[in-house]
Amino acid sequence: MTAAGSPLVVVWINAGFFVLAARSALLPQPAAPRQERVPGSGPVLALLRLPAFRRLLLISGLIQRSHAFYAGFAVLGWQAPGIGPGSIGLL
């Protein structure tokens, strides 16, 4: 992990993703527009039209990205001392 500099880089990038997610959650919610039922539109499109649901997708995506970034570096750290792929998969 020291090839990219300090191992603290992972902590700071993770903290940055957390701040982005927290800040997105604290933004004021826009007023929901009056929704008209469009023929042929399904429930997924109806959900995607909701601003609060789109914000939820953004926040959960940032949290997933943060976790995936951390897990990727954790795998590298576990491989260095010789932990096998099967054990890493269980972790």
The answer to the question of residue 33 being in a domain is no
Model confidence at 35, in pLDDT bands (50, 70, 90)? low
The answer to the question of residue 8 being in a domain is yes
* Structural domain containing residue 79: 2-27+45-90
pLDDT at 44 (0 to 100)? 80
Domains in the chain: how many in total?
1
The answer to the question of residue 75 being in a domain is yes
The answer to the question of residue 72 being in a domain is yes
Task: Please state, in angstroms and rounded to a whole number, the distance separating the CA atoms of residues 6 and 29.
Answer: 38
Instruction: Tell me the whole-structure pTM to 2 decimals.
Output: 0.45
Per-residue model confidence as pLDDT tens digits over 59-81: 888 888 888 888 888 888 889 89
The answer to the question of residue 36 being in a domain is no
